[in-house]
Amino acid sequence: MEAVLKLIGLGPTYYFYIDWNKFDFAVVILSLVSIGGNNSDINLTALRIIRVARLLRMIKSSKELQSLLMTLYLAMNNIANVALLFMLIIFTFSVAGMTLFGDIEQGHTGMINYENLNFRSFYNSGSTLIRSSTGESWN
């Protein structure tokens, strides 16, 4: 309804000149396609998720949210550096874990019985270290 009223009020030329209106119009059209497509054999459930994209319009109206996203954008270089450092540490300790603990037989107690929780391959070694560093399954 909002898109139709803006289209009538602004006229098609000026309405489609603004990028946010183009985005809003595309979301509305895809939402209508997903609602009208219930009787067809095509699964249009994924198109219903696009309605959530209208929340992105809040970025336009909220100066605080724009400031927060700009801060996140400016910090991306530092975030990438920390991620690369984390990957280097995981790589180093994965290789060390394979060298030191790769030959240990699997026990009959505790978490070491899992096939993918050991230091026998590089993938399992890295996965074990990431699981332990994030606290997954360690409660």
Distance separating alpha carbons of residues 88 and 81, to the nearest angstrom: 11
Half-sphere exposure of 70 (CA within 13 A, CB side): 8
- Tokens representing residue 81 in the block: 């550096």
The pLDDT, as a whole number, for residue 36 is 63
Q: Tens-of-pLDDT digits for all 139 residues of the chain? A: 878 888 888 888 888 888 878 888 887 787 777 666 555 555 566 666 666 666 776 777 788 888 888 999 999 999 999 999 999 999 999 999 999 988 887 665 555 556 778 888 999 899 989 988 888 766 5
The pTM assigned to this predicted structure is 0.55
CB atoms within 10 A of CB 132: 13
Name every residue whose Cβ is closer than 8 Å to that of residue 21 and which is 6 or more positions away in sequence: 3, 6, 10, 15
